[in-house]
Amino acid sequence: MRLKLTPSPQRQSSSPDSGQPLNPESGQPLSPDSGQPLSPESGFSLMEVVIALAILGIALSALIELGSISLRSTKRAEDYSLALLYARSSMEEAYITNTPQVGSETKRIGIFTIKRDIEEGTTQEEALDMIKAYLITITVEWPPTNRYTIRGIRIIREEG
């Protein structure tokens, strides 16, 4: 049995700083992908890097602004939900009393001002004299200029 010895391929030297392979003839760095020598024109120019960074900066500022708009919208939705909750609660208070007190009442809860107006309605027919109607208006206001209003009618039959 005969063994055939083949010379081992020569190892390419590499740059001591970067570990990048060098062309043994010219000492130029070689491309890691193709093994071809790198030309001085390979890579990005300073202008290309500046333009890429400018585009990245514009995109990031747009994303930050979008996040800010989202937070403001969430806060506004939360405020409207609380205003609705306070208005409905105040309306329910007016509905559960035996005889609503005609007049106006104002109270504050946090940033919200809740105003309840109760007016006595009138009936136009004699058959309805035993029925009293009350118009209830609830207005909730909060800064800067937001307002939510609901209205309801409470009808009470008087014992004659």
Q: Compute the average pLDDT of residues 138-146.
A: 95
For residue 44, tell me if it sits in a domain.
no
- The verdict on residue 70 lying in a domain is yes
pLDDT, greater one: 36 or 149 = 149
- Residues 6 or more apart whose Cβ sits within 8 Å of residue 80: 146, 148
> Domain holding 114: CATH number?
3.30.1300
Residue 21 located in a structural domain: no
7 inside domain:
no
pTM: 0.61
Q: Strand 103-109 to strand 146-157: parallel, antiparallel, or no bridges (unpaired)? A: unpaired
Whether 35 maps to a domain, the answer reads no
How many domains are there within the chain? 1
Instruction: Say if residue 91 is exposed, middle or buried (CB neighbours under 10 Å; 0-12, 13-18, 19+).
Output: middle
Q: Is residue 57 domain-resident?
A: no
pLDDT digit string, tens, across residues 12-40: 445 455 566 776 777 677 766 666 666 66
Domain containing residue 118: 66-157
pLDDT tens by residue, 76-103: 999 999 999 999 999 999 999 888 889 9
Please report whether residue 111 resides in a domain: yes
